[in-house]
Amino acid sequence: MKQVYFDNAATTLIRDEVIKGMVEVMNGNYGNPSSSHSFGRSSKVLIEKSRKAIASHFNVSASEIIFTSGGTEADNLVLKSAVKDLGVRRIITSKIEHHAVLHTVQQLEVDYKINVSYVSLDKNGNVDFEHLENLLKTDDKTLVSLMHINNEIGNILDLRRTAKLCKENNVLFHTDAVQSVGHYNLDLQDIPVDFLAASAHKFHGPKGVGFAFIRKNSGLKPMIYGGEQERGLRAGTESVHNIVGMELALKAAYQNLEKEHQVVFGLKQYFIDKMKSEIPNPTFNGESENTENGTYTLVNVCLPVPPKKSAMLLFQLDLKGIACSKGSACQSGSSRNSHVLSEILNEDDLQKPSIRFSFSIYNTKAEVDYVVGVLKEFST
């Protein structure tokens, strides 16, 4: 059976050179980085070299990069500490954020009685900046949390505009950049975000490691207590091989960014053109068809399939060896509609199957042809 992996927004294949580098670390640098002997010192050196290298990609200082287990932990660290330790009494977000943000904010609302405001969205899921400006006019200490690229529909937030607005209103700004780090250049001196979350496995690195960018002198305090690792902000023995793997993956991503962008964008465009020519009346959700307001890495398509038939679509695609998603991977197994699509689609379209296909440099046009052929067979 043919195997096609079109679920790269969920996770990605680790690059060969990343695996090689991680194995070398596991074989040769097994000392605890907190130990004072030579074994520990050699591991500590690797961590700090990786920290400096990662910081350089974003034009920030190494001390502003805090290693975590991934984007979810980074989001939680920022949001929880902002409320507990920085005195934030109001959070402005949107209803189409990743659940790592949404569920955390909802729990903070219960536990700390903070005020939560949801910025309005247009019909495609884009932030209404006029409404955001109005929400920013507040006396409460406020934090805005809006993701850079939506993981389901690919909409791109204007980070510079958002950060500038927050700065002008003396409001903190956090962005979940899990879908953009490694795919877009981000100069964090030019874009004055206060906090940012990233995850290695979204850019061909290992799972279980990510980082939080925390601008210096933020006042954030740890969510996990124990040792003094990560400037005291994240206790626990560091995963040296994973941190090195993340740094190697990020280095490769940015060294090859332009070339790989063109390849992946070409696959996405080919997929869209092929869908339009082979399948009657597909529609593309959010900005996923847009080449400017949507990311080049994914497409979210709504298919004209009757509800009774649509229930079996993902199962049939899986039987054909095709990996894709009806929403984020975190919702797999759920019978509920995507919370993102529920915000932007009408009731009729919500009854039709919407599928996210996400691409990488390891995909081919032949795979697109195969997938569209299977969808055509199912849709007729």
Ordered structural domains, the chain, with CATH: 4-12+257-379 (3.90.1150.10), 16-255 (3.40.640.10)
In the predicted structure, residue 128 carries a pLDDT above the cut 80? yes
Give the integer Cα–Cα distance in Å for 132 and 165: 9
**What CA dihedral angle connects 250, 146, 263 and 341, to 10 degrees?**
140
- Burial class of residue 348 (count of CB atoms within 10 Å of its CB; 0-12, 13-18, 19+): exposed
In the predicted structure, residue 204 carries a pLDDT above the cut 60? yes
3-class secondary structure, 186? coil
Tokens of 375: 């969808």
Tokens of 136: 């920013």
* pLDDT band of 374, cuts 50, 70, 90: very high
State the residue for tokens 């990510």.
210
In the predicted structure, residue 330 carries a pLDDT above the cut 60? no
Tokens of 95: 């209803």
pLDDT in tens, 223-280: 999 999 999 999 999 999 999 999 999 999 999 999 999 999 999 999 999 999 999 9
Find the mean pLDDT for residues 19-29.
Answer: 98
In the predicted structure, residue 380 carries a pLDDT above the cut 80? no
Residue 335 is predicted with a pLDDT of 54
Asked if 219 contacts 334 with a C-beta cutoff of 8 angstroms, the reply is no
Q: Does 329 or 226 have the greater pLDDT score? A: 226
Contacts (Cβ under 8 Å, ≥6 apart) of 296? 183, 261, 264, 265, 268
Strands (DSSP E) contained in the chain are: 4-5, 65-68, 90-93, 115-118, 142-145, 172-176, 195-199, 210-214, 283-284, 298-302, 322-323, 354-358
Instruction: Write the CA distances from 307 to 298, 303, 380, integer angstroms.
Output: 24, 10, 14
3-class secondary structure, 214? strand
Residue 329 is predicted with a pLDDT of 46
Give the integer Cα–Cα distance in Å for 271 and 365: 8
Find the mean pLDDT for residues 25-50.
Answer: 97
* pLDDT band of 331, cuts 50, 70, 90: very low
Find the mean pLDDT for residues 102-128.
Answer: 98
Find the mean pLDDT for residues 26-51.
Answer: 97
Q: Which of 202, 204, 233, 179 is nearest to 65 (CA)?
A: 233
In the predicted structure, residue 346 carries a pLDDT above the cut 90? yes
Residue 337 is predicted with a pLDDT of 80
The b-or-e profile of 253-278 (16+ CB within 10 A means b, else e) is bbeeeeebeebbeebbebbbebbeee
Q: Which of 192, 234, 238 is nearest to 216 (CA)?
A: 192
Give the DSSP letter of residue 107: H
Contacts (Cβ under 8 Å, ≥6 apart) of 312? none
Q: For the chain, give the percent of residues with pLDDT over 90.
A: 90
Q: Which of 219, 214, 221, 164 is nearest to 194 (CA)?
A: 214
> Rounded mean pLDDT of the chain?
95
Q: Please state whether beta strands 210-214 and 172-176 pair in parallel, antiparallel, or not at all (unpaired).
A: unpaired
Give the integer Cα–Cα distance in Å for 94 and 132: 10
Residue 60 is predicted with a pLDDT of 98
pLDDT in tens, 289-323: 998 899 999 999 999 887 777 778 888 999 999 99
Give the integer Cα–Cα distance in Å for 100 and 190: 26
In the predicted structure, residue 134 carries a pLDDT above the cut 60? yes
Q: Which long-range contacts (CB under 8 A, 24 or more apart) does 328-333 make?
A: 328/9, 328/10, 328/98, 328/99, 328/151, 328/152, 329/7, 329/9, 329/10, 329/11, 330/98, 330/99, 331/99
Neighbours of 170 (CB within 10 A): 10
Catalytic site positions: 330
Give the integer Cα–Cα distance in Å for 199 and 184: 14
- Burial class of residue 366 (count of CB atoms within 10 Å of its CB; 0-12, 13-18, 19+): exposed
3-class secondary structure, 333? coil
Give the DSSP letter of residue 231: G
Residue 332 is predicted with a pLDDT of 47
State the residue for tokens 């206060």.
194
